[in-house]
Amino acid sequence: KGATAFAMELLPRTLSRAQNMDVLSSQANLAGYKAVLLAANEYSRPFPMFMTSAGTVKPAKVVILGVGVAGLQAIATAKRLGAVVEASDLRPTAREQVESLGGKWLDVPMSAEEAETAKSTGGYAWTPSEQYIKDQAAIVDKALSNADIVITTAQIPGRQAPRLVHQSTIAKMKAGSVLIDMAAGTGGNVEGSVPDETITTSNGVRIVGAANIPSQLAAQSSDLYANNLVNFITTLIAPAATDDATANTMALNLDMEDEIQGALAVTHDNQIRLAKR
Catalytic residue among 17, 25, 91, 160: 25
Residue 43 gets the label, from left (phi > 0), alpha (psi -120 to 50) or beta, of: beta
Q: Name the catalytic one among 17, 124, 222, 255.
A: 124
Tell me, yes or no, if 25 is annotated catalytic. Answer: yes
Q: What is the Cα–Cα distance from 89 to 87, expressed in whole angstroms? A: 7
Residue 13 falls in the annotated catalytic set: yes
Q: Does the annotation count 269 as an active-site position?
A: no
Residues forming a β-bridge with 112: none
Q: Is 193 an annotated catalytic residue?
A: no
Q: CA-CA distance, 38 to 129, in Å (whole number)? A: 35
| 91 noted as active-site residue | no
Sign of torsion over alpha carbons 270, 228, 259, 94 = negative
The catalytic site residues sit at 13, 19, 22, 25, 124
